[in-house]
Amino acid sequence: MFSLAPKAVNLLYDVNVWSKYKSDIDQMSEQMHLKFHPSIRIVTSYNKYSQGFLVQETDQSSVDLGDKEDRVLRRSYSFKLQTYIPSPQFLLTSTGKIETFNTELELTKLINEC
């Protein structure tokens, strides 16, 4: 079996957090910053040393609402994951023909819970 070198990629994720109270959203923001300070190690089935970075935090809250409307505070976080995607694997026969072509990609659980 042989394959080409894995492909280095940057995967970008956006996470939106909504809360009714400022103290709740501040606590969630603090936990995000603690987990990603300076980076978080993310284990996948292909790579044990991928690094995740907090790229951007955006406050999208609006507090000018009417009396009967519920206040919803919003923050958006952007994460960057630096990892590798494996190349397909080939099995060659003695004649030089490709007998099997194996490739697999699974992105199910990217962030380990601490």
Instruction: Find out whether the peptide bond into 86 is cis, omega within 30 degrees of 0.
Output: no
| pLDDT for 78 | 93
Q: Which residue has the tokens 């630096």?
A: 82
Task: Kindly state the DSSP code that residue 93 receives in the 8-state scheme.
Answer: -
The residue type found at 14 is: D
| pLDDT for 27 | 93
Q: How many residues does the chain have?
A: 114
Three-state secondary-structure class, residue 5: coil
Alpha-carbon dihedral sign for residues 37, 38, 43, 48: negative
Q: Assign domain 2-60+70-102 one CATH number from 3.40.50.150, 3.30.429.10, 3.30.2000.40, 3.30.565.10.
A: 3.30.2000.40
| pLDDT for 102 | 61
The residue type found at 33 is: H
Q: Which residue has the tokens 């923050």?
A: 75
| pLDDT for 114 | 42
| pLDDT for 11 | 87
**Segments making up each domain of the chain, as ranges:** 2-60+70-102
Q: Which of 70, 81, 89 is nearest to 6 (CA)?
A: 89
Those residues of the chain that have pLDDT short of 70 are 1-2, 62-69, 91-94, 96-114
Q: What pTM did the predictor assign?
A: 0.64
Q: Which residue has the tokens 């995967």?
A: 11
| pLDDT for 75 | 92
Alpha-carbon distance of 15 to 110, in angstroms, equals 14
